[in-house]
Homo-oligomer: A and B are copies of this chain.
Amino acid sequence: MIKRPFDLLNNLVGKKVEIGMKAGKIVRGKLLAFDIHMNLVVENPEIVEENSSKSATHIFIRGDSLIYVHPLQE
């Protein structure tokens, strides 16, 4: 059950998520870790920008850049 917002993030560790960032960047991949500043690490991220897309083995996203996180259907 979700009583506090961070309960959702806890539930999403190990799951595939979409992360919306400032300036329209989107990252999709498996959420590995987060902290109270909302810094995140995502595994096998697909990094999508307006006209391009790339991948990496991991990505560290600074919490300050983050707008939303939601689960992706697997």
Interface 1/0s, chain A 62-74, versus B by CB < 8 A? Answer: 1111111111100
Total interface residues on A, CB under 8 Å, equals 44
Copies in the complex: 7
> What B residues does A65 contact at CB under 8 A?
67-68
Q: Tell me if A62 and B38 are in contact (CB < 8 A).
A: yes
A-B contact pairs, 27 of them (CB 8 A): A2-B33, A2-B41, A2-B58, A4-B33, A5-B34, A5-B35, A5-B39, A7-B33, A7-B41, A8-B58, A12-B60, A20-B25, A23-B67, A25-B67, A38-B62, A45-B70, A56-B71, A56-B72, A58-B70, A59-B70, A60-B68, A60-B69, A61-B68, A62-B63, A62-B67, A65-B67, A65-B68
